[in-house]
Amino acid sequence: MESNKKFYHIVTYGCQMNVHDSERIAGMLAELGYVSCDDMEGADIVVFNTCCIRENAENHAYGNIGMLKKLKAARRDMIIAVGGCMPQQIGKADILHKKFPYVDIIFGTHNLGKLKEFVLQKQSRKKAVIEIQPAEGAVTEGEHPLRTSYPNAWINITYGCNNFCSYCIVPYVRGRERSRRSENVIKEAQSLIGEGYRELTLLGQNVNSYANGTDDIRFPRLLEKIAAIDGKFRLRFMTSHPKDFSEELAKAIASDPKICRCVHLPVQSGSDRILRAMNRKYTSADYLKKIEILKKHVPYCAVTTDLIVGFPGETDEDFKDTLRLVKEVGFSSAFTFVYSKREGTVAANMPCQIPEEVSKERIMQLVELVNSLTREHSAKYVGTTCEILCEGYDEKRGLFLGRDEFGRMGYFNSDKNVIGEFVQLRVKEANGVSLMGELV
Ligand code: 5AD
Ligand code: SF4
């Protein structure tokens, strides 16, 4: 190993959008000559790309930054940077600086693209670089993310969110919704397919409102245009807000087999009273109607969702409404969350915050139901053959793995490396969320 090499290590918290932001960060560090390494101990720069959507994500980051104190004392030339959603909250950068004075760089979401500058500044001075840009700027183009998930690639199409769901901090830390121009998105998709990526996922907090209020094409058309690019690949997107999920989108999904029949449509709750308090702008009946429209055009479509229990004022009856809706829709899988109070949001000041024991009991029931639905979906695969895009090799199990169009994970043996290839898997066994099979 060359001794003059400099190494970076990035710790990512939270959602897919953050995973892709970390790829942008990696791209900037690579331009400065840094090379990726697997642990903090060997790194010359450690970047914490934080999330603040729930309290436990924040606590996790606090714990890990705290643990670096010793390492930094032993290696004073090491640079520690903390960025993303957590410092973007009003007043949080100062709190972080006081709590962790050994952190060298603190930046937010709106100036993440300037990390390269901040590192150069820090290299030539002793004082910490603390820069938070209060408001979002224009959408930046021309970045070179260092992608780490081959054969999958993430493409941002919108940034920020205008929905202000009453529990959610995202609109405060990611700013107002803005969309990239479709020609830039399509160009990026073309070049990724040219480079051999086999699955593209379009990312946004609410992809359905892509380009609203502009003269650009709408989301369903964008999907169709990307799907029309030559080559064998899959196209996914997330996240869709039910209030903006349109029949045109359902038709677009049906229009091209490259667009995966798999929609992530967060419902959050099955109670109309709670949905109103959450400011979700739909009722459970509206949601079911959207599912009906989707299934009219795409009869075999996996629907996944996000669910929150313990929102302020949630009664047993409200929770039962959620269980009922989950059963009725028959989600193929779901992310389940206990409501986490976020300062600055409308829900943080609502009366009747739910005691932890009640939320715990509810989440256990909900997880059990969701798991049973997932098992049911998986069991239906046994004896069938499905197409899997091989994504990697699981060292522990000694098996290759990949997902089918509907997002089910399959494991299998192969004599040759098939990562990045589409393979046919005959499913022998289903265990919960994953499938076991053999190649045909
Ligand atoms: N508490 C719990 N879950 C939340 N989510 C967003 N904000 C909160 C919160 N304060 C969940 C929602 C959203 C997902 C990304 O995170 O379900 O869809
Ligand atoms: Fe948060 Fe609602 Fe926006 Fe999703 S749509 S990011 S839950 S405010």
Each residue's pLDDT tens digit, 230-286: 999 999 999 999 999 999 999 999 999 999 999 999 999 999 999 999 999 999 999
305 plus 420 within the same structural domain: no
Distance CA 323, CA 318 (A): 9
What is the pLDDT at residue 25? 97
Q: For a pocket test of ligand 1, which of 13, 51, 167, 168 has the largest count of ligand atoms closer than 8 A to its C-beta?
A: 168
113 plus 231 within the same structural domain: no
Residue 235 belongs to some domain of the structure: yes
Tally of structural domains, the chain: 3
What is the pLDDT at residue 138? 83
Q: Give yes or no for residue 162 having a pLDDT over 60.
A: yes
What is the pLDDT at residue 3? 59
Residue 192 Cα to ligand 2 midpoint, Å, equals 28
Closest Cα to atom 4 of ligand 2: 205
Residue 136 belongs to some domain of the structure: no
Give the contacts of 6 (CB within 8 A, at least 6 positions apart): 32, 33, 34, 35, 44, 45
Residue 369 belongs to some domain of the structure: yes
Phi, psi of 185 (to 5 degrees): -65, -45
Residue 351 structure tokens:
């009366």
Residue 118: domain span: 6-131
CATH code for the domain in which residue 408 is found: 2.40.50.140
Q: Give yes or no for residue 340 having a pLDDT over 90.
A: yes
397 plus 373 within the same structural domain: no
76 plus 166 within the same structural domain: no
What is the DSSP pairing of strand 434-439 with strand 422-431? antiparallel
Closest Cα to atom 13 of ligand 1: 306
Res. 156 pLDDT band, cuts 50 70 90: very high
263 plus 281 within the same structural domain: yes
160 plus 123 within the same structural domain: no
Distance CA 420, CA 375 (A): 27
Res. 137 pLDDT band, cuts 50 70 90: confident
Tell me the average pLDDT across 179-190: 98
Distance CA 186, CA 193 (A): 11
308 CB under 6 A from ligand 2? no
Using the 3D structure, point to which of 131, 166, 181 is the last residue of a domain. Answer: 131
Res. 142 pLDDT band, cuts 50 70 90: confident
**What's the pLDDT tens digit per position in 355-407?**
999 999 999 999 999 999 999 999 999 999 999 999 999 999 999 999 999 99
CATH code for the domain in which residue 361 is found: 3.80.30.20
320 plus 417 within the same structural domain: no
CATH code for the domain in which residue 119 is found: 3.40.50.12160
171 CB under 6 A from ligand 2? yes
394 plus 286 within the same structural domain: no
Residue 141 belongs to some domain of the structure: no
Q: Would you call 252 helix, strand, or coil by DSSP?
A: helix
Helix axes 219-227, 182-194, angle to 10 degrees: 30
244 plus 363 within the same structural domain: yes
- Nearest C-alpha neighbor of 234 from the set 422, 412, 433, 17: 422
